[in-house]
Amino acid sequence: MIIHTMRILYTVPIMTAGAFLIALGFNLFLIPHQLLSGGLSGISMMIGYITGGNIAWLYFILNLPVLIWGWFILGHRFVYWSLYVVIASTLFLEFIPVVKIADDIMLGAVFGGIIIGFGTGLTLRYGGSSGGFDIIASIVTRKHDLPVGMIIFMLNGLVIAVLVIFTKNWDSALYSLVSIFSAGKVVDLIHVKHIKLTAFIVTTKTDELLAKLLTHPRGITIIKTRGAYSSAERDMLMTVRTKYELTELSKTITSIDPHAFINIVETVGVIGDFHKSKE
């Protein structure tokens, strides 16, 4: 209970900071130049520019169906934090004034993308997201080993294509692509989900750990071991995970077996099925 409370206490400020940075990038860099961030936020911006509607609330409303989808695919904890970030971002968008910090539209596009990417990367790294295409990209990366930032960039490119078709404004579309690309690259620097690690877990609670860990789409191999000093026989579980999944894996293991020995090594490459193996 204490560990769970401490986890929430340090996660809330991080998620809040991520939401603040996202709203900052929107209101100080993109919206003043009428640029798009892509994804559902970009769609909300497009609707807001055309109709004069409230972009903050459009962003919130458009995210609700995707959050519901994520609830069934990605797990409740991820969606809880994503919902928190979406609500916090909506409130920050309401309270942060729309001010043109950079007169140069290119500077607005680049630095807006960097700030938004940093905020988005923080939320993804610590178990949440900023909603929209972040959730869709996270669903895709559960089944396909691809960098989440580039998936977001490709999905967002579709939004820009729609902008060009309906407005014929190539300048805004190309500057928006610069912003989206900058955000995607920063997300990949922070959200290191595609980096592989191999975990070797020596435990006496094999069945309890397997019951929990096998709900995740990653394979696990059981290796019989014997301690050199104690001669006690134990099981060693070997599993390959992404670096992003490591924190959650460690928390799961220590909550079930606080005395488990965990050795983490970086994996250069994986040949074969990276998802759950039927061993």
Q: Is there a single domain that holds both residue 123 and residue 105?
A: yes
Q: For residue range 18-51, list pLDDT tens digits in order.
A: 999 999 999 999 999 989 887 788 889 988 988 8
For the residues 84-107, what does the mean pLDDT come to? 94
Is residue 278 included in any domain, yes or no?
A: no
Is residue 32 included in any domain, yes or no?
A: yes
Q: Please give the residue that has the higher pLDDT: either 148 or 53.
A: 53
- Kindly report the backbone phi and psi dihedral angles of residue 14, in degrees, each rounded to the nearest multiple of 5, phi listed first: -65, -45
Q: Is there a single domain that holds both residue 114 and residue 6?
A: yes
Share of the chain above pLDDT 90, in %: 26
C-alpha to C-alpha distances, 166 to 46, 62, 154, nearest whole angstrom: 11, 20, 19
Q: Is there a single domain that holds both residue 15 and residue 35?
A: yes
The DSSP H or E segment spanning 241 is strand 233-242
Assess whether pLDDT exceeds 60 at residue 279: no
pLDDT at 91: 96
Q: What is the mean pLDDT of the chain?
A: 82
State the burial class of residue 236 (Cβ atoms within 10 Å of its Cβ: 0-12, 13-18, 19+). Answer: middle
Q: For residue range 179-188, list pLDDT tens digits in order.
A: 988 887 888 7
Range of the structural domain that residue 220 is part of: 196-266
Is residue 94 included in any domain, yes or no?
A: yes
Domain final residue pick, 190, 222, 252: 190
For the residues 131-148, what does the mean pLDDT come to? 68
**What is the C-alpha to C-alpha distance for residues 254 and 241, in angstroms, rounded to an integer?**
17
What's the structural domain count of the chain? 2
Is residue 168 included in any domain, yes or no?
A: yes
Q: Please give the residue that has the higher pLDDT: either 229 or 275.
A: 229
C-alpha to C-alpha distances, 173 to 10, 16, 27, 35, 97, nearest whole angstrom: 38, 30, 18, 8, 24
Q: Is there a single domain that holds both residue 107 and residue 149?
A: yes
Q: Is there a single domain that holds both residue 22 and residue 72?
A: yes
Model-level pTM?
A: 0.69
**What is the C-alpha to C-alpha distance for residues 239 and 1, in angstroms, rounded to an integer?**
27
Helix (H, G, I), strand (E, B) or coil at 256: helix
Q: Model confidence at 270, in pLDDT bands (50, 70, 90)?
A: low
Per-residue HEC secondary structure of 66-133 comes to HHHHHHHHCCHHHHHHHHHHHHHHHHHHHHCCCCCCCCCHHHHHHHHHHHHHHHHHHHHHCCCCCCCH
Q: Is there a single domain that holds both residue 203 and residue 184?
A: no
pLDDT at 1: 58
Q: Is there a single domain that holds both residue 116 and residue 89?
A: yes
The CB density around residue 233, as the number of other CB atoms within 10 Å, is 10
Assess whether pLDDT exceeds 80 at residue 3: no
Share of the chain above pLDDT 70, in %: 83
The CB density around residue 228, as the number of other CB atoms within 10 Å, is 6
Q: Model confidence at 278, in pLDDT bands (50, 70, 90)?
A: very low
pLDDT at 94: 95
What CATH number is associated with residue 227?
A: 3.30.70.120
pLDDT at 80: 87
Assess whether pLDDT exceeds 60 at residue 194: no
Q: Is there a single domain that holds both residue 220 and residue 172?
A: no
pLDDT at 277: 43
Q: Is there a single domain that holds both residue 260 and residue 167?
A: no
Q: Model confidence at 147, in pLDDT bands (50, 70, 90)?
A: low
Q: Model confidence at 149, in pLDDT bands (50, 70, 90)?
A: low
Domain final residue pick, 175, 190, 205: 190
Helix (H, G, I), strand (E, B) or coil at 275: coil
Q: Model confidence at 125, in pLDDT bands (50, 70, 90)?
A: confident
Q: For residue range 199-240, list pLDDT tens digits in order.
A: 898 988 888 888 888 876 677 888 888 877 877 888 888 888
Beta bridge partners of 241: 197
Assess whether pLDDT exceeds 80 at residue 111: yes
| Least trusted range by pLDDT, from 4-13, 140-149, 237-246 | 140-149
